[in-house]
Amino acid sequence: MTRPEWSLTFHMNKMKWYIIFFCLADISALAQTESLTEVNKTLEAVHAVDQNARSSLRSCEARFGVSATECKPLVMKMDSLDSINQEVVFQLLEKGWPNAGQISEKANDAIFLVVQHSSLEKQIKYSAVLKEAFVLGKVSPSKYAMFQDRLNVRQGKLQTYGSQTGADQYGNVFFYPIHNITRVDSARREVGLSSIDAYKLNFPGGNVYLDTARHVSNANIILIVHVGNGKQQALKGIKLFVQNEVIGETDDKGFMYVLIPRENYQDLSLKFVANDQKQIRYALKGDRDFFDIYLMFNTL
């Protein structure tokens, strides 16, 4: 077992004890110094588990590439650890976010990280709690901006601050659509985030796709398309037809980013056609600003 894997396993076993503590303790007794000390220790452990898991994954992706097969065991381990962290933190949030000064900065950050890394269902459930924590100064403007972006992106809505990126198994790394690209740096600066160009440097080679040439507006729907085959290979030259007109084509990494008119988009039938004329049809469903579409041509 490698050192990172040992570390994660150790923390995972440790967290099982902390869950027992939270199940048995009366969390409403947070005002008691002894309880606060235990809560602080627990949340700092949650913080360590969350960040160690992601540090191990980033190291793996730096070596093998984003979404690499070699890193999948670490993704599964991270998801398992996240679920344990959530059991701890969500029980705490049912009683409310601890007041500033009651817990350490790292413990406070742990609460945010667990919500930020949870499912959409849980993020929606605790969004009001997080907003209140932001208003009361328990969550920084930059962290709340990232939460807002993630909540919007996961519901197919445009982000404001450009904090959310995606990656596929073909090596494409991209920004999810941004509401107003012309003032994104200004918006980021207002909440204490670095510029988009500086943020890009966090990724290998700073190579993150960002469409700045076309203006995203309420009149358009964005399609982010990823196409491959059964061998997990990206497919180039897959054409996208809308009403018998070609409006886009995948590049050599199976990637396509196109805009279509929002008006009546739910009535449109998308048709993806390969060079051998094999086809895949796709229906757009739901009230969204963008669609992240993954397709596979099994016979190519």
Same domain, yes or no: 100 and 225: no
DSSP secondary structure letter of residue 103: B
Same domain, yes or no: 46 and 111: yes
CA–CA distance, 128 with 136 (Å, rounded to integer): 12
Highest mean pLDDT among 37-41, 99-103, 269-273: 269-273
For the chain, the domain total comes to 3
pLDDT at 286: 87
Same domain, yes or no: 116 and 227: no
CATH code (residue 246): 2.60.40.10
Assess if residue 211 is contained within a domain.
no
CA–CA distance, 103 with 74 (Å, rounded to integer): 30
Same domain, yes or no: 103 and 7: yes
Q: Are 270 and 242 in contact (CB under 8 A)?
A: yes
At 90-135, the pLDDT tens digits run: 999 988 898 878 899 999 999 999 999 999 999 999 999 999 999 9
Same domain, yes or no: 178 and 256: no
pLDDT reading at 29 higher than 80: no
Structure token digits, residue 280: 């895949």
pLDDT at 223: 95
- Listed in sequence order, the DSSP H helices in the chain are 3-24, 33-64, 72-93, 105-116, 120-125, 127-135, 141-154, 184-190, 196-200
Same domain, yes or no: 120 and 20: yes
pLDDT at 183: 93
What mean pLDDT value characterizes the chain? 86
Q: Is 287 exposed, middle or buried (0-12, 13-18, 19+ CB in 10 A)?
A: exposed
Same domain, yes or no: 103 and 185: no
For tokens 């207002």, the residue is 190
At 192-231, the pLDDT tens digits run: 999 999 999 988 766 889 987 665 667 789 999 999 998 8
Same domain, yes or no: 234 and 259: yes
Same domain, yes or no: 8 and 109: yes
Query: Out of 64-78, 145-159, 164-178, 249-263, which region has the weakest mean confidence (pLDDT)?
Result: 64-78
Assess if residue 152 is contained within a domain.
no
Structure token digits, residue 221: 């729907």
Same domain, yes or no: 201 and 224: no
Assess if residue 214 is contained within a domain.
no
Assess if residue 115 is contained within a domain.
yes
pLDDT at 255: 97
- Mean pLDDT value across residues 273-298: 92
Same domain, yes or no: 171 and 239: no
Same domain, yes or no: 101 and 229: no
CA–CA distance, 162 with 193 (Å, rounded to integer): 10
pLDDT reading at 66 higher than 80: no
Write out the residue range of the structural domain in which residue 290 sits: 220-297
Assess if residue 213 is contained within a domain.
no
CA–CA distance, 51 with 49 (Å, rounded to integer): 6
pLDDT at 4: 41
C-alpha atoms less than 13 angstroms from C-alpha of 157 in its C-beta half-sphere: 9
Assess if residue 153 is contained within a domain.
no
pTM: 0.85
CA–CA distance, 242 with 276 (Å, rounded to integer): 19
pLDDT reading at 299 higher than 80: no
Assess if residue 156 is contained within a domain.
no
**Phi, psi angle pair for 95, to nearest 5°:** -95, -10
Assess if residue 154 is contained within a domain.
no
